[in-house]
Structure 1
Amino acid sequence: MTLHPNLDPDLRAALEALPPLSYDLNTADLAEIRRARAAACLPPGAGTKVSDVDADGLRLRVYRPAGAGDEPLPCLYWIHGGGMIIGLPEMDDSRISRFVEALGCMAISVDYRLAPEHPYPIPLDDCYRGLLWTAENAAALGVDPDRLAIGGNSAGAGLAAGLALLARDRGGPRLRFQLLLCPMLDDRDDTASAAQFEEAVSWPRGNNRFAWKAYLGDLTDVPVYAAPARATDLSGLPPAYVDVGDLEVFRDEDALYALRLAAAGVPVEFHLWPGAFHGFAGALPDTPIGRRSTAEQIEALRRGFVGGDI
């Protein structure tokens, strides 16, 4: 693949030293990609204690600061990415431990079922079921139910945005904040950036189309909870932080969603990272731009746990 001329120089240097990050989902072996992704998970930081709990048949991965006392802690309910078709909570162990150790918070990551074997609404229903269980068992988990945020990366951020709409419309749980990192929001795939990045590092347009088809199946009337960009009413949602790279398919749908949140009266902070590809901060966290992005996310989450405008 030819790298984009506007690619951040540090990202370019890192990418040139690595095997290609992109693959074609239309021709790839999905089972093999899942196995490879699971084998490549990085461990959490030494300052994070990790355990798994059974939430009535749904696995939740719990992260807690090492040495934390008995006081209830703010909690980030996290949803992993992977186009709704790939991934598992362990893939974000390293990233989540950065949040936990920097903020002294807890995090809980949901092991939702994947499409195409389990299409919409199953993945979102799993995420909502895990969120309800977390809120209902907050005391036993050591979670402060008044400081519960949701977040995710890529498809996980899209699920988190759908979850925020679902929680609003079902009357809870109450959410303090939503951390939406390069969210996958719009199945229509008809923005200028979608057309611009037919080929792109990490997540080209063809993969996006494949993943949406796997998730939605034969649905013709797509619900707003499945594709939050379709929602016409964004009022009453928790404050949000949205970020995205400027060299990726999701650039325009994410920018528009952030603007529409603001127009609906939702406090929102939006970051467009110049020269960045999809998922750059997770893939290359030790580059200068990766470190800056992570630091901004941590500070946004810190403010989000406190409440009010971010």
Structure 2
Amino acid sequence: MTLHPQAQAFVDTLAETDSPTWEELGVEKAREVFETFEEMCGEGPDLARVEDHTMPCGVQIRLYCDRSETVPVTMFFHGGGWVLGNLRTHDALCRRLAKASGCAVVAVDYRLSPEHPFPIPVQDCYRATEYVVEHAARLGVDATRLAVTGDSAGGHLAASVAIKARDEAAFPIALQVLMYPVIEPNFDTASYRQYADGFGLTRDSMKWFWRQFLGGKPAAREAVPCRAESHANLPPALIITAQYDVLRDEGDQYADQLRDAGVDVTHRQQQGMLHAFLHFAGIFDTGMEVGHQVAVEIGERLRA
């Protein structure tokens, strides 16, 4: 399928403006620019509860819920290459997920790289999930019906938390939702070659993000979800990839890898779409529509 007209308009604008890349901007300036994308993220609905909490380790979490009764909960780990993003940048997406799913959403303001390289972002997301499980009654959520969700680098974190929770037999996770996830630092897949430049997220930017996340060191097996010793007995997975995305093939391949290990996998490749189309639902109607469908499915799966 050709690019969706809205995606084509987006890449045309990128070509016309010739803006600096993330790696050209550098860490601090890139973070400032990323926070200016609020209009692209679309609107988030008002909710009955939006609460900020600080864990004993200092990491902040934000709880979104629109129900008065105790409801299932999904952890949300934001994208941004482990370098960019915070609670504000993904606020609208989290609000939409909470509203349409009928579940609580807990977003995690994990510490960013390069100041805090691997394994710190994974540890922060794991500890936040552990915290929600341990304090479920106080937070008003049912952590026996728990999902982990993330977009892009957040998808990597969700997959990593699912693996770590299984390995440590810590708490049951009912579902992992990986939205165009980062899976491995292999920059020679067909999608990396096809969409290396000119389609939003570039191959060079992903190389830069991985360098920040790994602190310039080789990737440890634990940093790469597809290199886990086993993928058996992981939670059921809902994996969304985008056709015109450098990350497409690694997400598609991870879906196959999980399925081959006996995991229940629902995988959808969104045709005509670019990376981050769910986050930037303010400019991609498909992002709003698919985001709603994903949220509804999360609610249905956690209540099954």
Q: TM-score when scaled to structure 1?
A: 0.90
Structure 1 gap ranges (5+): none
User: How far does residue 223 in structure 1 lie from its aligned partner after superposition?
Assistant: 2.1
Note if 1:231 corresponds to 2:245: no
User: How far does residue 232 in structure 1 lie from its aligned partner after superposition?
Assistant: 4.1
User: How far does residue 177 in structure 1 lie from its aligned partner after superposition?
Assistant: 0.5
> Relative to 1, partners in 2 of residues 1:128 and 1:109: Cα closer, same or farther, differing over 3 Å?
same
Question: Is the 1:22–1:201 contact (alpha carbons within 8 Å) kept by the matching residues of 2?
Answer: no
Moved more, 274-283 or 36-45: 36-45
Paired-residue identity, %:
32
Cα separation, 2, equivalents of 1:34 and 1:21: 18
The aligned runs of 1:282-301 (5 Å cut-off) are 282-285=279-282, 287-301=284-298
> Relative to 1, partners in 2 of residues 1:61 and 1:236: Cα closer, same or farther, differing over 3 Å?
same
One-letter amino acid of the structure 1 residue matched with residue 97 of structure 2 = F
Counterpart pick for 1:11 among 4, 7, 14 = 7
> Relative to 1, partners in 2 of residues 1:49 and 1:221: Cα closer, same or farther, differing over 3 Å?
closer
One-letter amino acid of the structure 2 residue matched with residue 235 of structure 1 = A
Cα separation, 1, equivalents of 2:230 and 2:202: 29
Query: 3-state DSSP class of the match of 1:275?
Result: strand
The aligned runs of 1:85-164 (5 Å cut-off) are 85-164=83-162
Question: Is the 1:200–1:247 contact (alpha carbons within 8 Å) kept by the matching residues of 2?
Answer: no
Moved more, 30-39 or 54-63: 30-39
One-letter amino acid of the structure 1 residue matched with residue 240 of structure 2 = D
Query: 3-state DSSP class of the match of 2:217?
Result: coil
User: How far does residue 22 in structure 1 lie from its aligned partner after superposition?
Assistant: 6.8
CA offsets 1:187-212 (integer angstroms, 9 cap, x no match): 13231111222104321000000011
Note if 1:215 corresponds to 2:213: yes
Moved more, 186-195 or 280-289: 280-289
Counterpart pick for 2:256 among 246, 256, 259 = 259
Counterpart pick for 1:182 among 155, 158, 180 = 180
Question: Is the 2:159–2:176 contact (alpha carbons within 8 Å) kept by the matching residues of 1?
Answer: yes
One-letter amino acid of the structure 2 residue matched with residue 9 of structure 1 = P
Question: Is the 2:6–2:283 contact (alpha carbons within 8 Å) kept by the matching residues of 1?
Answer: no
Residue in 1 that maps onto 2:47 = 47
One-letter amino acid of the structure 2 residue matched with residue 267 of structure 1 = D
The aligned runs of 1:197-216 (5 Å cut-off) are 197-216=195-214
Residue in 2 that maps onto 1:62 = 63
User: How far does residue 11 in structure 1 lie from its aligned partner after superposition?
Assistant: 2.6
Q: TM-score when scaled to structure 2?
A: 0.91
Cα separation, 2, equivalents of 1:22 and 1:64: 37
Question: Is the 2:149–2:178 contact (alpha carbons within 8 Å) kept by the matching residues of 1?
Answer: yes
Query: 3-state DSSP class of the match of 1:140?
Result: helix
Cα separation, 1, equivalents of 2:77 and 2:18: 21
Residue in 1 that maps onto 2:277 = 280
> Relative to 1, partners in 2 of residues 1:17 and 1:252: Cα closer, same or farther, differing over 3 Å?
closer
One-letter amino acid of the structure 2 residue matched with residue 105 of structure 1 = C
Structure 2 gap ranges (5+): none
User: How far does residue 128 in structure 1 lie from its aligned partner after superposition?
Assistant: 0.9
CA RMSD of aligned residues (A): 2.1
CA offsets 1:56-84 (integer angstroms, 9 cap, x no match): 1211111111xx32x32111100000000
Question: Is the 1:21–1:201 contact (alpha carbons within 8 Å) kept by the matching residues of 2?
Answer: no
Alignment size in residue pairs: 299
Cα separation, 1, equivalents of 2:138 and 2:19: 42
Query: 3-state DSSP class of the match of 1:26?
Result: helix
Question: Is the 2:100–2:296 contact (alpha carbons within 8 Å) kept by the matching residues of 1?
Answer: no
Question: Is the 1:11–1:284 contact (alpha carbons within 8 Å) kept by the matching residues of 2?
Answer: no
Counterpart pick for 1:34 among 31, 36, 56 = 31
Question: Is the 1:285–1:294 contact (alpha carbons within 8 Å) kept by the matching residues of 2?
Answer: no
> Relative to 1, partners in 2 of residues 1:81 and 1:221: Cα closer, same or farther, differing over 3 Å?
closer
User: How far does residue 23 in structure 1 lie from its aligned partner after superposition?
Assistant: 4.3
Cα separation, 2, equivalents of 1:53 and 1:217: 29
Question: Is the 2:100–2:292 contact (alpha carbons within 8 Å) kept by the matching residues of 1?
Answer: no
Moved more, 155-164 or 30-39: 30-39
Cα separation, 1, equivalents of 2:123 and 2:160: 10
User: How far does residue 244 in structure 1 lie from its aligned partner after superposition?
Assistant: 1.0
